[in-house]
Structure 1
Amino acid sequence: MNESTMDCYTSKISVLLLLLLSAMVLHKGKCSTHSCNGKDQSALLIFKHHVIDPFNYFSSWSDEKHCCAWKGVWCSNVTGRVTTLDLSNQYLEGEINLSLLQIEFLTYLNLSCNRFSAISLRNSEYQSLAIPSNAYANFSSLKYLDLSFNEDLQLDNLQWLSHLSSLKCLNLSAINLQSQTNWLQTMAMLPFLLELRLSMCRLKNINPSVMFVNFTSLATLDLSQNNFYSDLPYWLFNVSSDISHIDLSSNGLRGQIPKALLNLRKLKSLRLDDNALTGPIPDWLGKHQHLQNLNLTENLFNGSFPSSLGNLSSLTQFGVSSDSLSGNLPNSIGQLFNLRSLYIGGSLSGVLSEKHFSKLFNLESLVLLSAFSFDLDPNWIPPFQLREIDLRNTILGPTFPEWLYTQRTLETLDVSSSGISSINADRFWVLLANVRSIRLSKNKISADLSNVTLNSEYIIMNNNNFTGGLPLVSTNVFYLDLSYNFLSGPISHLLCSKLGREMNALYYLDVSHNLLTGGIPDCGENCRALALLKINNNKLGDETPSSMDLLNEGIGMDLNNNNLSGNSLEISNFKSLEYLNLAENKFSGVVPSKIPKSIQGLILRGNEFSGNIPAELCSLPSLRLLDLSQNKLSGSIPSCILNNSLLDGAGTIEYHLEFSFELFLRGREVVFQGGWVLGMLDLSTNNLSGEIPPQLFNLTQLSALNLSRNHLVGKISSNIGGMTNLEWLDLSNNHLSGEIPSSISNLSFLSSFNLSYNHFTGEIPLGGQLQSFDSWSYVGNPELCGPPLLTKNCSEEVNHEEAQQDGSNDSLNESFYIGIGVGYVAGFCGFWHSLLLSRAWRRIYFQFLDNIIDWLYVFVALKLNKFCELRASSR
């Protein structure tokens, strides 16, 4: 269940009591003894007419049944009038017609979690049922309105809400309200409003200077995940004295928490996390005796952690983090006996003892992300049984703590980067067998996994010192990361072994950067669920089967940097493949022509593929990344490969798990995380010839282009200036000619640029990002001139005859200095012969030599350097 759906169900729970109360009086429409009211039915039909219903939800909305029997409609058993309409989460599209508000006794309206894109009063198709212009005056019965999570819906007018005078609960979360500057005044016109939820509405104005807003009844206010970027508003601390829940998280709020917060005496939940609040954490917060949920994480608080927060005995959830906090965690935190969830992060440090946990009897979740160390008795038994433990970046090691073995209800364990190097193998693997999610990454744990069976759903054990063969995995394992260890042996031990009759449920497997050997196993029947596979940077060496069936339903596969080989590679059976990396292997033959239509990223760099680039690449509609560099490809770049916006733009590999891949740009490795695929084309270091197709320069969304080290000829099209998203451009080591187009200065995002070793002529363009590149981007083009080539300017006053005269003078100068050199050598040899025959002359000479040797060295060095420069310029 995704987060949006969870929010939808959470909002429904808030009115559960209201519905239960209504159920005492109301019954479902089909049980009503009354026929549906004609006005109600007409209003519902007007609404239906504007709705797109892809899954035929409205099949029961027909004249054969009265409206109280329609799906999603509830009526009063006494009057037969429609009182409730709940169409949430039904994938409905189109318009929300406000004819629904003509239903006189409608008290509950929920259209959340659909795909509506507009709100309107259009009813021309039912002129006889038209809503009168004064109809809003009667809309006083609606108490609950939920339009949330219709993410394509933008409201430019909220005035119709002011007529809903009986409204108690309003939820417009995840609706676009960015054009609303007076939303606060509109909401204040609802006198009985108890609950207001406007999360993720793109609101920008929170009116921080307004002193008072007429929210006399408000109990819950959720304005989280908007774009306020201001101080906390004054009016917030003057709202209803009955307000109990405030959520202003993820808004960029700044400044300090004002003491006026004490005015809200009945406050039970306060969320100010993920903002930019500064100053110390107020010690007076300890006076809020009714607080149950206090979240201050991800802010810029400084100073120490106030011990007074230990007085908040009602707290059940508590979170604080800031990189500017200092000092220790006070012992008083151990007095919060009602606490169920504790989150402490940031730059706090110090030693935690048993006193910090002494009365946390009800604790279920413990997250400590600061550099704490622990001073606990080895036989200490905690007063709690935890479901979640997250102690990453603390100082737990070197031995896995004994007290963790006492936690029998664990579901999630994260002790990454905590300095653990040794474990009690007999107890350790037994503990982990019952934990659903495990993170042990970036420790130094040494253990042989050959005889271990892993049972958890989610396992991350990368960057350790695990040795031996790959472990067995049970059918529970969904995600497994064993990368950056010292595991050896074949991969078939993990993939092809069966535990019981059930198929392997493994979806994500990363065993990259190990010492695995052998080849790709042929046991695809046992790995039907496997979608993401990383075996890169191992020592695999066998010939790969021409038809790999290991990942028939796969999405991404990385076999980069092994010794795999094979001819006539067949990958067409990967029906859903979106990313394939076979770089740095020994595959040969021609580039595969039968490639799945779903492919977005194809990397075949550093193999032995030969022949032409296949024209079949032109028919790949989703391709965003193509790397065929460092092969033996010949022929020209096919122009069709650049048609239909191929390689143009960016996309995401369609799965919801992190999947990184490596590219080489300008000789360095660049790692992309999270499945983001940029528009990239790398055909460098091949034997390609001919001109660069002009269509290539029309790919305005391309981010990286590398055609270096080929035999390409011709000019650079002036259209290159339209490739404004280009970040990497390398056309070096070709035979390109002509002037560098001045439009290239429009490429304002360039971070890597190389046109060296071609035959470009004329003046180097100025302006834009080009100013940041030095002469190495242009070296090897003798006919180029201008900055940054400081040794050669482009003055138009120097004509051809003057250049020839300069050449003659340079020749004379060269002869002159050569003559000086020869004469100097001859005289020196004669003088040296005299020294050999006279001891006195030798003594005088060496004294003289000591005085002038430094001067002579500098003189000769300068002359020789001038000689080299003159000779180079005369060529």
Structure 2
Amino acid sequence: MVYPDSFGYVIEVSNRLKAKAVNPSLLELTYLEHLDLSWNDFMGSRIPIFLGSMQRLRYLNLSNARFNGVVPQQLGNLSMLHALDLSSGPSEYDFQLSVRNLQWLSHISSLRRLDLSWVNLSEAFDLVQVLNKLPFLAHLRLSSCRLGDHINLFHDYVNSMFLEHFDISVNALQGPIPGVIKHMSVLKVLDLSANIFNSTIPMWLANLTSLVHLNLGFNNLTGEIPSALGNLTSLVVLDLSFNSLEGGIPGSLWNLCSLKVLDLANNRLNETISEPYKTISGCTANRLEKLSLRWNKWFPKMKFSYLDLSFNQIRGRLSAFLKPDTLYMNLYLSSNKFEGPLPIFPSILNRLDLTANLISGWIPEDIGNMTPTLDNLLLSGNQISGPIPNSLCNINTLRVLDLSKNRLYGDIPDCWSNFKILAALDFSANNLSGFIPTSFGNATSLQSLHLTNNSLPGELPLSLRNCTGMVIFDVGENKLSRSVPRWVGKSMLRLEILRLRSNMSAR
């Protein structure tokens, strides 16, 4: 689709079209200033040299258009360019742009935005020399550019005082975090993730008070989280995940009033907690939407719409943490040591994962009235006993229900007719008896049904033939009788796994 303005200065063709090459007829648009060919499919063709003749261009976007080969030096003739985007992502066809010499880029001194992500710059040893000739650059993205062989690459990058966005993620860069960053005083976005930086977090980061997004995840950073990071009062996202950070979480972080995402997962954080659960105060508690402490040993008590504390060593009764007046919407507490019965759930709960804990007692009889909008309920691998409550069938918003590997007994309620989006149901490895409910056949969106390792008698209900999208159907280790019905092969055409082993007389 082409979107020219009234003078024909702007053209955008970014609707995922396929073409073998860019048509030279573009040269007829002599006043063109804005050219966007992103997200089309040029099937591995080269960036055309003639684009370098369109010298009125101020904006050129060729991102994710599946160009291949060496970037033509003629683009350096576009001396009026303010924005150049040649970025892409991983390609299943190994299409990738490359640059061996960047001197042509130094002729575009007016550049304010430059994105070369996924362009191979492994041979561009003049990178920093050229960047120093771009004094107005405010946005620089060099993610996944194979810069790992460049020793002390940014040590001499001195013309960076106007940078607001600096991304050198996924480059296997080693050593300490580059000290040159301390001079980027107006920086708003800093992404150094997925490298091999192995220093402590430098104290000077706390002086970059304009930072909104700071990502140091997936490195080898050591030491403690500096308390001085609490000076970054504009931070919205702080990601320190997948490092080797130790110690506690500085209290100064809870005064970052704009913080919405805090990811400290997969570190070595530890803190002595005198009370069963530590209460975090401060204005962060009112704004934070996502907190991830996965694979640490620390447990807070706060209100979030998203909280992931999976794979910690949290002990204690679940009721002390999960209260009906909390604001959790998505709560992931799997692989901990929570114990005691299931409490009253928050009414706005959307997803709850308590897999692999020590939860005991019965499922509350009125669970269906507590959580009317529940989407995922995962209680597998606990010590829950008693019958499956009929009120579960009131939660017809469920997509995934997993009660497997517990001590449930009695009949499976026959009340599943109103479940229009239920995709996965797992009641396996319990002590359930009674016939397989015929109403399962009305849950026609079912793709995975696991009832194995119970004591279910009788036959497979004919109504299950309505579940034509079934991919996994497992009713092994029960007391089912008779042979496999013919309708299984005729109706369940997408079936990949059918398991009937070890029934009383299935054949």
With structure 1 as the length reference, what TM-score do the two structures score?
A: 0.50
Matched, 1:142 2:57: yes
**Aligned letter for 2:138?**
A
CA deviation map 1:567-622 (0-9, x unaligned): 2543333455152131533498xxxxxxxxxxxxxxxxxx85xxxxxxxxxxxxxx
**Aligned letter for 2:72?**
L
Query: Counterparts of 1:274 and 1:137 in 2: how far apart (Å)?
Result: 34
Query: Counterparts of 1:444 and 1:98 in 2: how far apart (Å)?
Result: 68
Question: SS of 2:317's equivalent?
Answer: coil
Q: Indicate which of 69, 77, 86 corresponds to 2:12.
A: 86
Q: Indicate which of 293, 296, 309 corresponds to 2:213.
A: 293
Look up the match of 1:580: 497
Matched, 1:468 2:389: no
Question: SS of 1:309's equivalent?
Answer: helix
For the structure 1 residues 302 and 547, does the alpha-carbon distance in structure 2 shift closer, same or farther, using more than 3 Å as the test?
A: same
Percent identity among equivalent residues? 27
Aligned CA-pair RMSD: 3.4
Instruction: Tell me by how many angstroms 1:539 deviates.
Output: 3.4
For the structure 1 residues 73 and 314, does the alpha-carbon distance in structure 2 shift closer, same or farther, using more than 3 Å as the test?
A: closer
Look up the match of 2:288: 363
Instruction: Tell me by how many angstroms 1:202 deviates.
Output: 5.9
Instruction: Tell me by how many angstroms 1:179 deviates.
Output: 5.6
Instruction: Tell me by how many angstroms 1:531 deviates.
Output: 1.9
Alignment of 1:401-416 (within 5 A): 402=320, 405=323, 409-416=327-334
For the structure 1 residues 217 and 338, does the alpha-carbon distance in structure 2 shift closer, same or farther, using more than 3 Å as the test?
A: same
Question: SS of 2:26's equivalent?
Answer: helix
Equivalent pairs counted in the alignment come to 488
Instruction: Tell me by how many angstroms 1:546 deviates.
Output: 7.5
Look up the match of 2:359: 445
Matched, 1:344 2:268: no
Contact 1:148 1:171 (C-alpha < 8 Å) held by counterparts: yes
Alignment of 1:311-330 (within 5 A): 311-330=231-250
Look up the match of 1:117: 43
Look up the match of 1:509: 425
Instruction: Tell me by how many angstroms 1:208 deviates.
Output: 8.8
Query: Counterparts of 1:159 and 1:576 in 2: how far apart (Å)?
Result: 55
Query: Counterparts of 2:447 and 2:101 in 1: how far apart (Å)?
Result: 46
For the structure 1 residues 475 and 406, does the alpha-carbon distance in structure 2 shift closer, same or farther, using more than 3 Å as the test?
A: closer
Instruction: Tell me by how many angstroms 1:537 deviates.
Output: 3.5
**Aligned letter for 1:445?**
I
For the structure 1 residues 341 and 407, does the alpha-carbon distance in structure 2 shift closer, same or farther, using more than 3 Å as the test?
A: farther
**Aligned letter for 1:86?**
E
Query: Counterparts of 2:124 and 2:341 in 1: how far apart (Å)?
Result: 53
Instruction: Tell me by how many angstroms 1:186 deviates.
Output: 4.6
Matched, 1:164 2:78: yes
Query: Counterparts of 2:438 and 2:115 in 1: how far apart (Å)?
Result: 54
**Aligned letter for 1:193?**
L
Contact 1:92 1:116 (C-alpha < 8 Å) held by counterparts: yes
Q: Which runs of 5+ in 2 are unaligned?
A: none
Query: Counterparts of 2:121 and 2:431 in 1: how far apart (Å)?
Result: 53
CA deviation map 1:167-198 (0-9, x unaligned): 22233332666461426445444322222223
Matched, 1:333 2:259: no
Contact 1:99 1:121 (C-alpha < 8 Å) held by counterparts: no
With structure 2 as the length reference, what TM-score do the two structures score?
A: 0.83
**Aligned letter for 1:169?**
A
Q: Indicate which of 395, 409, 412 corresponds to 1:488.
A: 409
Matched, 1:530 2:446: yes
Query: Counterparts of 2:4 and 2:184 in 1: how far apart (Å)?
Result: 38
From the two aligned structures, give the one with the greater helix fraction: 1
CA deviation map 1:616-655 (0-9, x unaligned): xxxxxxxxxxxxxxxxxxxxxxxxxxxxxxxxxxxxxxxx
For the structure 1 residues 535 and 95, does the alpha-carbon distance in structure 2 shift closer, same or farther, using more than 3 Å as the test?
A: farther
Look up the match of 2:161: 241
CA deviation map 1:54-79 (0-9, x unaligned): xxxxxxxxxxxxxxxxx533231xxx
Look up the match of 1:182: 100
Query: Counterparts of 1:104 and 1:458 in 2: how far apart (Å)?
Result: 57
Query: Counterparts of 2:219 and 2:198 in 1: how far apart (Å)?
Result: 7
Contact 2:191 2:216 (C-alpha < 8 Å) held by counterparts: yes
Matched, 1:399 2:320: no
Look up the match of 1:660: none
Query: Counterparts of 2:170 and 2:351 in 1: how far apart (Å)?
Result: 27
Question: SS of 1:446's equivalent?
Answer: strand
**Aligned letter for 1:317?**
V
For the structure 1 residues 516 and 88, does the alpha-carbon distance in structure 2 shift closer, same or farther, using more than 3 Å as the test?
A: farther
Look up the match of 2:340: 422
Question: SS of 2:182's equivalent?
Answer: helix
The structure with more radius of gyration:
1
Matched, 1:220 2:139: yes
Alignment of 1:17-28 (within 5 A): none
Q: Which runs of 5+ in 1 are unaligned?
A: 1-70, 123-132, 377-381, 589-606, 609-875
Instruction: Tell me by how many angstroms 1:215 deviates.
Output: 2.6
